[in-house]
A and B are shown apart, each in its own frame.
Chain A
């Protein structure tokens, strides 16, 4: 039970801080979860990759991390912790949005969050490359994937293509 509470509080903190959407807090999440011994570096990167296969917000890798940390109760603890802060705020915004849309600081905040989110995304790419990409060949793969998606190839196809390519590379090296 203690462990589950730990998981909940850890993800609540990460959830409350993940400004900039998506997995902007991924670098911090990686450091915290690995330091607590809930996942290894390899598992963290693998969990993130698995998360790309499922529909929904790509933050769903937290299911994997919660399971690894504290079993099934850990899954619920991680999910609640991660999604609760934003959801509560989003529900409250229904009442407050007209005031919010008019207020000057909220417009300034929204403008400021755009470049801040860019900086967070860049940090996220850096930590993912450090954790999960070994070898220059995979860096080439990252660039090709980015190019394909940029050209409008559906994301699911590119992910599937990455899996197939990974298996082929594994077969050649084996």
Chain B
């Protein structure tokens, strides 16, 4: 059995829906933390951090995976589904409206809508850069880390290898490089998300 609180499904859905409504700009995990740990006390801080660190090994957005995982812990399979729907539905519906508007009214090259989007795109790239700058000191703390990161960037970003091939090469190399350090459970570093 899963340890911890079992939360009524409707309350659970509302909590995740609220997070889905306000989680702008990639701050999803921080919002989940606020909603589940600080506001409602459904789980402890340590448990929250451990589980969100763990879902990093899965493919897909960490935020959505964390929601599915936490929903499962708090309310079983139905809880997982409701949690995922809760965090995805508001943004997906809004995105659908925006996409309809885009294809209906068209963002003609040179139009104001198009230049507004150019501005947002620049800001969005800035967000990724800022996140990288923030994480770099921790993520690239050794020669092997730097070699791995540069290897991925060169093969994927510059040489345009397929992603599967890039991962098939770098993940086994990475795991063997870190095998020694992984003998001890301590020393895991968490970089908190933005927002």
Interfacial residues, chain A to chain B (CB-CB below 8 A)? 15-19, 21-22, 25, 27-28, 31, 42, 45-61, 63-64, 67-68, 75, 79, 82-83, 85-87, 89-91, 93-94, 97, 100-102, 104-129, 132-134, 138, 141-150, 154-156, 158-159, 161-167, 169-171, 173-174
Contacts and interface: CB of A to CB of B under 8 A. Distances in A.
Contacts of A50: 95, 98-99, 102, 117, 120
Nearest to A171: B112
A138 B65 contact: no
**Most chain A CB neighbours (cut-off 10 Å) among B100, B121, B133, B164:** B121
B126 A144 contact: yes
Contacts of B45: none
B88 A158 contact: no
A146 B84 contact: no
Contacts of A54: 24, 90-92, 94-95, 98
**Binding site of A, secondary structure by majority: helix, strand, loop or mixed?**
helix
Interface in B27-73: 27-28, 50-51, 53-66, 68-69, 72-73
Secondary structure of the B contact surface, majority rule: helix
A161 B123 contact: yes
A123 B94 contact: no
B59 A19 contact: yes
Interface in B89-141: 90-92, 94-96, 98-100, 102-103, 107, 109-112, 114-136, 138-140
A32 to B, nearest CB: 9
Contacts of A52: 25, 120-121, 123-124, 127
Given A28-B163, A162-B122, A60 B65 contact: no
Contact of B139 (A63, A90, A117, A127): A117
Contact of B116 (A31, A119, A120, A167): A167
Contacts of B94: 53-55
A86 B60 contact: yes
B138 to A, nearest CB: 8
A90 B195 contact: no
What's the interface size class on B, roughly?
Answer: 35 or more
B22 interface: yes
B143 to A, nearest CB: 11
B151 to A, nearest CB: 7
B120 A159 contact: yes
Contacts of A163: 116-117, 119-120, 123
Contacts of A59: 60-61, 64
8 contacts: A53-B94, A107-B182, A110-B54, A119-B157, A122-B153, A124-B128, A162-B124, A162-B126
B5 to A, nearest CB: 14
Contacts of A93: 51, 54-55, 58, 69
A155 B56 contact: no
B6 interface: no
Interface in B140-186: 140, 144-146, 148-153, 156-158, 160, 162-164, 167, 170-171, 174-179, 181-183, 185
